[in-house]
Each structure stands twice: as C-alpha cells, then as structure tokens.
A and B are shown apart, each in its own frame.
Chain A
Amino acid sequence: MFSLLEESGFKKVKSAVVPNFRFRQQSTQNSAEAYGVKAVMMTATKPEGG
C-alpha cells in the first residue's frame, strides 16, 4: 500500500507497524505471521499543487 500511495501522487508517505495488533486466536495469528500480515499506520500528504 506504501507504493500505491506514492504512485497515486501522495508525498511524505510514512508507515509504522501497529505494535499491539494481533489476532485473538493463536492459530489465526500463526497463519497471519506466515503470510507477513501486520497492521500498519500510514500517513501521507497531498501536495499543494496536487
């Protein structure tokens, strides 16, 4: 999604992992980790001339 934001014209794109996100069930959490699934916070700005 980071690259989609940049490709769509957003600037100052920043992201960070949501530290406490996890699934309730351990089996779901294990599957999520196997796929690299994580929650992220993202901020970005539409340029003044955009």
Chain B
Amino acid sequence: MPNSADAQASLEAVLKQEIIRMYQEVAEDPTAEFHFYHGRQAAELFGYDPAWLDRAPEGAVSSFAGVGNPHERACLEAGETVLDLGSGAGLDAIIASWSVGPTGRVIGVDLNPTMCLKAQAHAAATGTAMECHEGRMEEIPLPDSSVDAVISNGVINLSFRKRRVIEEMFRVLKPGGRISITDIVSGKQLTQSIVNDPKLWAS
C-alpha cells in the first residue's frame, strides 16, 4: 500500500501533466471556450492598459490566462531584475521588460518547455529580451538573492506545496526585494474529491 508521500508524488505528477495540457491548449487554441476568461477579454477585465495589449504580440495576448494584474502594484523600475513565476506565453514578462528597460532583466520560469520557447519568441518579436527557464515553482532554478521583484499571475494556487513556493520566492529575492502576485484563494477547505481531481485542481 503506498504511503501518503508516494500518493502525493503520484498525484503531483498527474497534476503536472494536466496543467501542461490545459495551459498549452489555451495557447494553441485561444478561440476555444474555457470556464475562465482568457486572452484580451480577461486582460482588459483586470485593467491591463490597452496600449500594452496593442503593442504585445497577438499570441501572447490571446494566450493570457491570468487572474488579475500583478503590474498594478509591482512598481518595477528601470534596471531591475524581475522573475515571472509561471510565465506562460509571456505577456506579463513582456510588460515587465518594458518597465525595467534595456538595463533590466526579466526571467521567466515555467513548467512547460514549449511555453518557455513561445514566451521567448513573443518577447523577441517585441524587440525585448526575456530568458525563460523550464522549472518548477517549488524549486526555482535561480540562485539565492538574485532578483529584485517576483511577479506571478494565477499559478501558485496550482501547487500542492504552496509554503515551499513561497519559501522559494523568499530565497531568490534580494534583501529588500518584493513580490506582486495575483492568485486564487479559497475561504474554505476544498473537499478531497476536488483535491484528488487533477482537472479541477488544474483549473
């Protein structure tokens, strides 16, 4: 009989595949209907500047699947190093790159290597540089005290190990660094049937 650690690892592996599948589907078929708003409609709903959305590549905008606007309170400044945790198709990283300018640096981390390539291509199409590392938010592939700010939009809720994710954000931030994240929270304990259902959890 598997112990609870094995069971969680197994569920996490299934969940990883479901997350990759769902968000790749958004990127590959942005005209499809999902139960969450996405694309330009969602970005406008959350107050993204329409000028940003006009300037960003269509593919980055149409694949947007965030739950809010982390730029609203990020206060990014020229020359800063920014981590976009769960960078997806790259819209938030591209907007961050405009804020930090050519002397700054934007690093994306995403579970899905295909999305990393897509995000980098979208950034390049706008004439900005963004590097993206394939990796898990529970083990951010960056050194200690290496970024000024962490932004994230709707991904931390996907982790079974949220404390670990937050500890990792703390580790990679420089002293005095900050986070600006938007995410989904639940006021009540979810039922075990929801927790055990990768499709529901990935949503």
Contact = CB atoms under 8 A, between A and B. Distances in A.
A24 B175 contact: no
Interface string B160-172: 0011001100100
Contact of B178 (A8, A21, A35, A44): A44
A6 to B, nearest CB: 10
Contacts of B174: 46
Contacts of A21: 45-46, 67-68
A48 B148 CA distance: 12
A8 B167 contact: yes
A38 B33 contact: no
Given A23-B36, A44-B179, A37 B184 contact: yes
Bin chain A's interface residue count.
20 to 34
A19 to B, nearest CB: 9
A4 B188 CA distance: 16
B177 interface: yes
Given A18-B67, A35-B188, A36-B188, A42 B179 contact: yes
Contacts of A1: 156, 162, 166, 183, 185
A20 B46 CA distance: 6
A39 B163 contact: no
Interface of B: 33-37, 45-47, 67-70, 72-73, 154, 156, 162-163, 166-167, 170, 173-188, 190
Give 7 nearest A-B pairs by CB, closest first.
A36-B187, A18-B68, A39-B67, A46-B173, A45-B178, A8-B166, A20-B45
